Amino acid sequence: MYKKKSQLPPGPTPWFFLGNLLQKDVLPLNKNYSKLVAKYGPMFTIWMGPKPMVVLCGFDVVKDALVDHAEAFGGRINSPIIDRLSKGHGLVNSSDMQWRELRRFTVMTLRDFGMGKRSMSERVQEEAVCLVEALAATKGQGFDPTTSITPAVSNVISSVVFGIRFDYTDKTFLKHQRIIENQVGFFHTILGLVVRIFVALYKMMDSQYLRLRVSSSFQLYTAVPKILDCFPGRHQKIFSDSEELCAFIHENMKLHRQTLDPQNIRDYIDCFLIKSEKEQKSASDTFRTENLVMTVFGLFLAGTGTTSFALISGLMVMAKLPHIQAKVQQEIDEVTSATRAPIMEDRVRMPFTNAVIHEILRYPQTSNETIPRTTSCDTKFRGFTFSKGTVVAPLFTSVHHDPLQWETPEQFNPGHFLDEKGQFKKKEALIAFSAGNYMSLW
């Protein structure tokens, strides 16, 4: 540990074996990064158990790494938890060649089915009508928005992947929604048993450690997976639930195979099966059943959690800032005349609404950071030499709250995305969906 430490950017002193995992002045990073930056600079090293991770903070450093040195910082991390969930298949494929091929195929297929185009907008509009009806059924009473929003988001993904949508009350659909939410929630909560073990060992913890969030729980398993695999707990249920959801996807895939019509392609699964038949005579085994199941699993897991979070954040903003809500509603009414739903082409005529949506993506200081990446080769970067395989974590919260890039970084301010004439303006410092070679589909 100390040999590696001398070669990396400075950072808080790690404890033996545990590193910085249980140090409340280090994790979660979204709460402590500013103090660490003030002490060590915009690049510092923290230790996830015995494993170092270099944290990049601020727009200039993150952009320099992810965009200007995209190839060097584009390596994929070997994560024990992701490896166990995926078994090395799908969009986290252990084979770099297969991963690139699957990623390329998936991006092209999703685009063919309308990702970023009007046809996808129509799918969203259709689901939005169902969502509004579900919310209206509460008749003004208090409710948990996730119970409606998460299924709505999943239905949009389902329409592309499975070619169908599910009723919000469908028992199988609801069960699988809970599994997906638990998968996402695993990265948002502690592994309680392990924390208690550490409490007993060190007697140095207070109640704050019982509120370790996303990064800490994910990285705790990453640091000591073999130890955690020996104990019961929520993490074990996550793995068993994953098997159940994959079994459902597998059954759906078999039904697709039985009814497949190459002249009438219905969805992503059809496209994959057709591609699989074409590749049967080739040496590549990329388009096999295991990769299809885990790719679909990954699309649901990644797409549902992030999109649901953004929508619920938007509702919270509307509820807490009624003057913002009123101005957005006024602009929508002026453009659509309350006679139709907004369409993609209306975006240029709704600069304030567009600015609010972008600010919703910027503002939250969540501990749900990107999955770290690694250096793909020995790399010299800003005075340090990173050996191949060094784990690097760009901290997007630090970018979205960088005082050098935003006038009022700690306030919700749609003006960040408006020019002096009130027209929408893009901001390079908004990287809500990451950047560089690693930015989409892992």
Predicted local confidence at residue 167, as pLDDT:
82
β pairing state of 373-374 and 384-386: unpaired
Domain that holds residue 423: 1-77+322-442
Predicted local confidence at residue 201, as pLDDT:
35
**Which uninterrupted H or E stretch holds 384?**
strand 384-386
Q: Domain ends where: 281, 299, 320?
A: 320
In a domain, 373, yes or no: yes
**Segment 66-81, tens digit of pLDDT:** 999 999 998 877 767 6
- Our count of domains for the chain comes to 2
Confidence of residue 209 (pLDDT cuts 50, 70, 90): very low
> Among 7-11, 36-40, 300-304, 359-363, where is mean pLDDT lowest?
300-304
**Domain identity same for 101 and 162:** yes
Highest-pLDDT range among 13-17, 81-85, 114-118: 13-17
Predicted local confidence at residue 229, as pLDDT:
63
**Domain identity same for 147 and 259:** yes
**Segment 25-69, tens digit of pLDDT:** 998 888 899 999 999 999 999 998 888 999 999 999 999 999 999
Q: Domain ends where: 320, 339, 366?
A: 320
**Segment 175-186, tens digit of pLDDT:** 766 666 665 554
Predicted local confidence at residue 436, as pLDDT:
73
CB 198, CB 205: distance < 8 Å: yes
In a domain, 356, yes or no: yes
**Segment 229-255, tens digit of pLDDT:** 666 556 566 677 778 888 888 888 999
In a domain, 311, yes or no: yes
**Domain identity same for 258 and 345:** no
Instruction: Give the rounded percent of residues in the chain with a pLDDT score beyond 70.
Output: 78
> Cα-atom radius of gyration of the chain, to the nearest Å?
23
The single-letter code of the amino acid at 308 is S
In a domain, 203, yes or no: no
Which carries the bigger pLDDT value, residue 116 or residue 288? 288
**In terms of Cα–Cα distance, which of 400, 399, 404, 313 is closest to 356?**
313
Mean per-residue pLDDT for 332-346?
A: 85
β pairing state of 373-374 and 391-394: antiparallel
**Domain identity same for 248 and 181:** yes
In a domain, 25, yes or no: yes
> Among 40-44, 96-100, 206-210, where is mean pLDDT lowest?
206-210
> Among 223-227, 243-247, 434-438, where is mean pLDDT lowest?
223-227
> Among 18-27, 201-210, 304-313, 375-384, where is mean pLDDT lowest?
201-210
**Domain identity same for 16 and 124:** no
Q: How far apart are CA 372 and CA 54, in angstroms?
A: 9
Q: Domain ends where: 260, 288, 320?
A: 320
Confidence of residue 212 (pLDDT cuts 50, 70, 90): very low
Q: Is the pLDDT of residue 223 over 70?
A: no
**Domain identity same for 186 and 41:** no
Q: How far apart are CA 346 and CA 159, in angstroms?
A: 24
**In terms of Cα–Cα distance, which of 223, 107, 123 is closest to 164?**
123
In a domain, 200, yes or no: no
Predicted local confidence at residue 308, as pLDDT:
87
**Domain identity same for 125 and 170:** yes
What six digits make up the tokens of 314? 């938007």
Which residues in 84-114 are b (16+ Cβ under 10 Å) and which e? bbbebbbbbbeeeebbebbbebbeebbeebb
The single-letter code of the amino acid at 52 is P
Q: Is the pLDDT of residue 416 over 90?
A: yes
Which residue has 């592994």 as its token pair? 191
- Cis bond before residue 28 (omega within 30° of 0): yes
Q: Is the pLDDT of residue 22 over 90?
A: no
Confidence of residue 425 (pLDDT cuts 50, 70, 90): very high
Predicted local confidence at residue 370, as pLDDT:
62
**Segment 344-374, tens digit of pLDDT:** 889 999 999 999 999 999 998 765 456 788 9
The side-by-side arrangement of strands in the sheet containing 75-76 is 43-48, 51-56, 391-394, 373-374, 75-76
Q: What is the mean pLDDT of the chain?
A: 81
**Domain identity same for 299 and 171:** yes
Mean per-residue pLDDT for 187-206?
A: 35
**Domain identity same for 256 and 342:** no
Classify 249 as helix, strand or coil. Answer: helix
**Domain identity same for 157 and 273:** yes
How open is the CA angle 14-20-26, to the nearest 5 degrees? 120
Angle between helices 171-186 and 146-161 (to 10 degrees): 100
For residue 264, what is the DSSP state?
S
Angle between helices 351-362 and 289-320 (to 10 degrees): 110
Q: pTM for the full model?
A: 0.82
Q: Is the pLDDT of residue 203 over 70?
A: no
Mean per-residue pLDDT for 82-104?
A: 78
Predicted local confidence at residue 194, as pLDDT:
36
Q: How far apart are CA 7 and CA 390, in angstroms?
A: 11
Which carries the bigger pLDDT value, residue 116 or residue 171? 171
In a domain, 212, yes or no: no
Q: How far apart are CA 131 and CA 141, in angstroms?
A: 16
Q: How far apart are CA 224 and CA 213, in angstroms?
A: 17
In a domain, 394, yes or no: yes
**Domain identity same for 101 and 186:** yes
Which CATH number covers residue 248?
1.10.630.10
Instruction: Give the rounded percent of residues in the chain with a pLDDT score beyond 90.
Output: 41
Q: How far apart are CA 416 and CA 424, in angstroms?
A: 9
**Domain identity same for 359 and 239:** no
**Segment 143-159, tens digit of pLDDT:** 888 888 988 998 998 88
Angle between helices 351-362 and 322-336 (to 10 degrees): 140
Q: Is the pLDDT of residue 198 over 80?
A: no
